[in-house]
Structure 1
């Protein structure tokens, strides 16, 4: 079974995000970039399926500018067999990404697609569901456990009320949640080997998809500064503050 896993390039989660002085966008100058943490979990799950003898090939896919090759090479170092970059310098909205991925899925015909449930830059949580709608594949979003058995995959989903177990018929789409696994670190030998693994580059035109924007970025603002806390002398004073000033009780 071939497993397709998606990878997105984002600002490293340890970096404090800065907004441009004109509030037009986020400042990316000299900012460390990394693989989206949820995508790391998706790659790890795909590699584990291969190590268990369930998957025969793991293909990593990313969409974006040429520099996204860096994150694809990381996925290759973590255990993916080959990679595909759909290269575009345009801003890709969730629906456009889903349409491009649909074409890749049509070409590659994977038995399972594993994606991060969301990216930490836009936090949209849309692409996996959109891809499921476009392909007609069953989907298990917010997965905290995945078990493949024959032509079925059992997914334990994290939902508001607790955990939900669904059984999907392959081919299917799974989006990973934080508790699905603990991603490994890429070793130096594997990083060196990743440089020789195949990485194909395609364009939206190659896939027959027109890139267009349906939304316009108006303004980006940093979050408001938090006010300093205060100390109170007694429980009674605390209750008074919560009731009369904060008005939360």
Structure 2
């Protein structure tokens, strides 16, 4: 079974910054890591491949995304592909999915394509299903269990009502949740292999796509305004000898809002 894993290098959550003019994320000089849910997808791919098969990881991003791919190689992936070109910059989920699907079609075929349910820097959950749509293959989201057989892939989806069980033919695409597995840590031998292994690079000229199909030009959605939430609440702290006064103030506020009636019993 040949498996592809879509991984994304995302900024550390506490360091995310936005360009107010372009409406795009500022990634230069920001610490980064592999999107956590993509690590679950990679672990699932490595588990499936132990029955016989290969694992290919691919990512679209700036040159620094090579570090994420090398980490995946250190964990056991067989092949790493990097889509990096200034023409891809500013892509929304649609333009990103189109480029990823084009490379998957060029370097495949793959029996299963895996990805995290969503990325921490976007939270849309759109890229996986859009890739499947471009490739015209079935897909399942919110996957929390995977079983492979000669008939195809059986998955359990975690949905609001409980669990849903589906059987999909191969090829198919799955986006996974945290509770699918526990990602492994690389071994020393794996880290050495990850540093030495080749990362194959692809740009716009390697794909049968027009410049207007990719990046900001090929993105049907735009960020037109960025709003930062303002915290307007006023917090008061009481302790020590002021504690009783604080309790009385809280009781008074609760009564004022008709949330407390009568006296307060200790």
TM-score, normalized by length of structure 2?
Answer: 0.81
Partners of 1:242 and 1:39 lie apart in 2 by 48
Q: Structure 1 157/207 Cα, relative in aligned 2: closer, same or farther at 3 Å?
A: same
Q: Structure 1 42/226 Cα, relative in aligned 2: closer, same or farther at 3 Å?
A: farther
Corresponding residue of 1:81? 78
Partners of 1:3 and 1:162 lie apart in 2 by 28
Q: Which moved more, 1:208-217 or 1:177-186?
A: 208-217
Q: Which has the larger radius of gyration?
A: 2
Q: How does 1:227-238 map to 2 (within 5 A)?
A: 227-228=233-234, 233=248, 238=254
Corresponding residue of 2:112? 112
Which of 53, 56, 59 matches 2:56? 59
Do residues 33 (structure 1) and 32 (structure 2) align? yes
> Which secondary structure state, in structure 1, belongs to the residue aligned with residue 115 of structure 2?
strand
Corresponding residue of 1:188? 188
Taking only aligned residues, the RMSD between alpha carbons, in angstroms, comes to 2.6
Whether the 8 Å contact between 2:15 and 2:31 is mirrored in structure 1 is no
Name structure 2 gaps, 5 residues minimum: 237-245, 261-266
Partners of 1:239 and 1:122 lie apart in 2 by 42
Partners of 2:10 and 2:90 lie apart in 1 by 13
Pairwise CA distance, 1:99: 1.4
Pairwise CA distance, 1:45: 0.9
Which of 199, 215, 235 matches 2:221? 215
Q: Which moved more, 1:3-12 or 1:84-93?
A: 84-93
Pairwise CA distance, 1:145: 0.6
Name structure 1 gaps, 5 residues minimum: 245-249
> Which secondary structure state, in structure 2, belongs to the residue aligned with residue 83 of structure 1?
strand
> Which secondary structure state, in structure 1, belongs to the residue aligned with residue 174 of structure 2?
strand
Whether the 8 Å contact between 1:23 and 1:220 is mirrored in structure 2 is no
Partners of 2:10 and 2:176 lie apart in 1 by 17
Q: How many residues align?
A: 241
Pairwise CA distance, 1:243: 5.3
Could you report, residue by residue, the CA deviation over 1:79-132 in whole angstroms, capped at 9, with x for unpaired residues?
A: 111100111231222111221222222221000000111111011111111122
Partners of 1:101 and 1:172 lie apart in 2 by 15
Corresponding residue of 1:93? 92
Q: Structure 1 181/226 Cα, relative in aligned 2: closer, same or farther at 3 Å?
A: farther
TM-score, normalized by length of structure 1?
Answer: 0.86
Whether the 8 Å contact between 1:41 and 1:182 is mirrored in structure 2 is yes
Corresponding residue of 1:247? none
Q: Structure 1 208/239 Cα, relative in aligned 2: closer, same or farther at 3 Å?
A: farther
Pairwise CA distance, 1:39: 0.8
Q: Structure 1 19/198 Cα, relative in aligned 2: closer, same or farther at 3 Å?
A: closer
Corresponding residue of 1:143? 143
Pairwise CA distance, 1:232: 5.2
Q: Structure 1 65/147 Cα, relative in aligned 2: closer, same or farther at 3 Å?
A: same
Q: Structure 1 196/91 Cα, relative in aligned 2: closer, same or farther at 3 Å?
A: same
Whether the 8 Å contact between 1:84 and 1:199 is mirrored in structure 2 is yes
Partners of 2:258 and 2:138 lie apart in 1 by 47
> Which secondary structure state, in structure 1, belongs to the residue aligned with residue 196 of structure 2?
coil
Q: Which moved more, 1:105-114 or 1:192-201?
A: 192-201
Partners of 1:35 and 1:175 lie apart in 2 by 15
